[in-house]
Chain A
């Protein structure tokens, strides 16, 4: 656990970057620092590994003041990932990843083996180990940055806007990768971002900071969205707060109808306005009007219990029927969530 105990940072020029910050980043969880540019996120993060020293207050790592630990020793036990990856250009990728194991005096073979293992873990081809950083794309470099931070298996990981400099598609895949890794590794992660969506996606707990380095709110993402502490937080969360909240509403209890499917070749005869045409092996083909006229119309799917209400609603909005198709892990139709069912679930969510 990382504890901020009334931590203040005043730079020599008088700027107060962090002002009496008190919070805890629990062991095994992702704590996100989010806030507008210049609100003191980076400063807060860098005080943990003593890249910056606090002016007042105390930061504790599992109860021990970091102030008492020699900085290089402290840092070797904490993974650190920065925006531009900061890979050593003169070293091959494997050697970049093995930086901390080398510093800790692991033998070469073991450090190398560990580096190769991590390369795969972060989703890179092991052949990339022999390349130099300039031969990798920005997204790949960032993966290597994560692998390097994990090399000596530190319990704590500090990440300063690690995915901000890559394009949105790559960013999404890096975020998913991080969540997947975290599910396996259970590190204590402090993650800095200015992107509230990223904060909500990645954080077990989100600390919203306001300019001047003061804590505006610390809460889990769901609470943050439903109960913003004040106008600043509300404004920072943005307009579609309600929609985004649906990300945290489960589709488990959603009522599904199984009587709205028809086989291929249906030629009308039922009184429902829309029916779902299903192939012989149970996969959705498209919506068809109850009278059997017209071609199959587009459909959207979600996985009940797995996907959120946001995904279910999105699936419903994709089709003219206004219904979402529930599918199992094999993509076979499990049922249909009608407008009425979605409506009921939304009403419940609004009450919660």
Chain B
């Protein structure tokens, strides 16, 4: 407890480039950038593959690769290759990490839509793009969001580890704390990381509530 009060009560921890707000901002920046990039890459790709049925092998390969590749190894490799002058050595592995869950879930979501429903949509006279946008995406949305959430959790967690490479983020409190035996910093940093992960989870739940149709989630206020 006094470690916590020591950490959070120290005004020095609330300002400057090594302070909590700055570290938190860095953490948000890295995670958000990686997640957005991964989303821009994986969602359209997953939708396209799921809709056309072509390129499904890519999904399988990406799913397997993500399980086989150690993220930390990738991180270190990119830092060794590209140095630490920019944030890209950290962002690239984070994106690579974030793509597979989004890709796999988006693809499965679209492909898993009841063929009768797809058939009815075409039968009504919807064109291919309209079938995708107006029927497949809304119905697959829970899975697409699940993919994004899984990726977000992984990215947030891995961004912590990225502190090893000398870049910023909340992980610095933990890693620097260990290095200097400043356990208040280690504990305080950990708490911040956990809180941040929770906030991200809650954020996704809210997004899910507001964007998924009650007809799909089958949550309708009873009358």
- The reply to whether B125 and A72 form a contact with Cβ atoms under 8 Å apart is yes
* Chain A residues with CB under 8 A of B125: 71-77, 100, 103
A residues engaging B (CB < 8 A)?
A: 49, 51, 71-77, 80, 82-92, 99-100, 103, 131-135, 148
Bound state CA distance, A106 and B121, in angstroms? Answer: 18
| Interface residue from A83, A86, A131, A135 paired with B117 (Cβ < 8 Å) | A86
Surface stretch bound by A, among B37-45, B200-208, B215-223: B215-223
* Given A73-B125, A88-B135, A132-B220: A82 touches B215 (CB 8 Å cut-off): no
- The reply to whether A82 and B119 form a contact with Cβ atoms under 8 Å apart is yes
Whether, in the assembled complex, B73 has its beta carbon less than 8 Å from a beta carbon of chain A, the answer is: no
Whether, in the assembled complex, B138 has its beta carbon less than 8 Å from a beta carbon of chain A, the answer is: yes
- The reply to whether A80 and B213 form a contact with Cβ atoms under 8 Å apart is no
CB of A174, distance to nearest CB on chain B (Å): 18
CB of B216, distance to nearest CB on chain A (Å): 5
Whether, in the assembled complex, B10 has its beta carbon less than 8 Å from a beta carbon of chain A, the answer is: no
- The reply to whether A89 and B215 form a contact with Cβ atoms under 8 Å apart is yes
- The reply to whether A103 and B124 form a contact with Cβ atoms under 8 Å apart is yes
* Given A88-B117, A132-B220: A76 touches B124 (CB 8 Å cut-off): yes
- Size range of the interface on B? 20 to 34
- The reply to whether B124 and A51 form a contact with Cβ atoms under 8 Å apart is no
- The reply to whether A82 and B116 form a contact with Cβ atoms under 8 Å apart is yes
Bound state CA distance, A134 and B114, in angstroms? Answer: 14
CB of B116, distance to nearest CB on chain A (Å): 5
* Given A49-B123, A51-B122: A134 touches B138 (CB 8 Å cut-off): no
Bound state CA distance, A322 and B139, in angstroms? Answer: 60
- The reply to whether B138 and A51 form a contact with Cβ atoms under 8 Å apart is no
* Chain A residues with CB under 8 A of B120: 80, 82, 85-88
- The reply to whether A86 and B119 form a contact with Cβ atoms under 8 Å apart is yes
CB of B140, distance to nearest CB on chain A (Å): 10
* Chain A residues with CB under 8 A of B220: 131-132, 135
